Amino acid sequence: AQRVTQPEKLLSVFKGAPVELKCNYSYSGSPELFWYVQYSRQRLQLLLRHISRESIKGFTADLNKGETSFHLKKPFAQEEDSAMYYCALMDSGGSNYKLTFGKGTLLTVNP
Amino acid sequence: DTGVSQDPRHKITKRGQNVTFRCDPISEHNRLYWYRQTLGQGPEFLTYFQNEAQLEKSRLLSDRFSAERPKGSFSTLEIQRTEQGDSAMYLCASSLNIGTGLFLGYTFGSGTRLTVV
């Protein structure tokens, strides 16, 4: 069975500090990994996906198959980054495109 | 098109009552998904449709739950004989599947928050 683990429920950093939100996954197939973000009073939205290999709002995430991790990083956190972040996994070999989410990490960036 | 719409935004119901939620996806999206999110958890997959066909149901979807998408446009999720454990945020998402094996991503709705008292 596939599983996504986000070990930190809460993460608090100061503005300008580096931030890393951890995500580990368990899946025997070929996974596709995503980070979703939910800002206060807004709907869940895609932040980035590993196959795009892009940086969105200064965030990057690298898929490490050896460590089964997909940690989200940003070198200098901003107050507007405060939000709930969910890591999600999809079976890239299937066609249902359903996602398995982690429990989420609430990031607070303090001034 | 204003994105994925869900109605109502909030629903409070007494245990044992039936409730129905509606989701209006982005009009050109042929796939529609339902997820449930309880407190402290990430969203969990319930079911999905390709056009009007319901192609997969999670084991989370007990017999009291039924979902439809009659004309391949909007979808309804009905819960019969609600229980306190059904209290959750019910999220709808839609996507366009063009059959190439390329996942184009979801657009989520704002959700319906159900409270069973």
A9 contacts on B by Cβ (under 8 Å): 40
Beta bridge partners of B76: B22, B68
Between A44, A96, A102, which is nearest B108 by CB?
A44
Q: What is the pLDDT of residue A54?
A: 81
Between A4, A45, A49, which is nearest B108 by CB?
A45
Q: What is the CA radius of gyration of chain B?
A: 14
Instruction: Work out the percent of chain B whose per-residue pLDDT is above 70.
Output: 97
Q: Tell me which residue has tokens 């070990």.
A: A7
Q: Are B73 and B26 in contact (CB under 8 A)?
A: no
Examine the pLDDT at B92 and tell me if it is beyond 70: yes
Q: How confident is the model at residue B91 (pLDDT cuts 50, 70, 90)?
A: very high
Q: What is the pLDDT of residue A96?
A: 85
* Cβ count within 10 A of residue A17: 13
Are A101 and B43 within 8 A, CB to CB?
yes
Say which residue, A50 or A37, is predicted with more confidence. A37
Examine the pLDDT at B35 and tell me if it is beyond 80: yes
Are B109 and A86 within 8 A, CB to CB?
no
Examine the pLDDT at B32 and tell me if it is beyond 70: yes
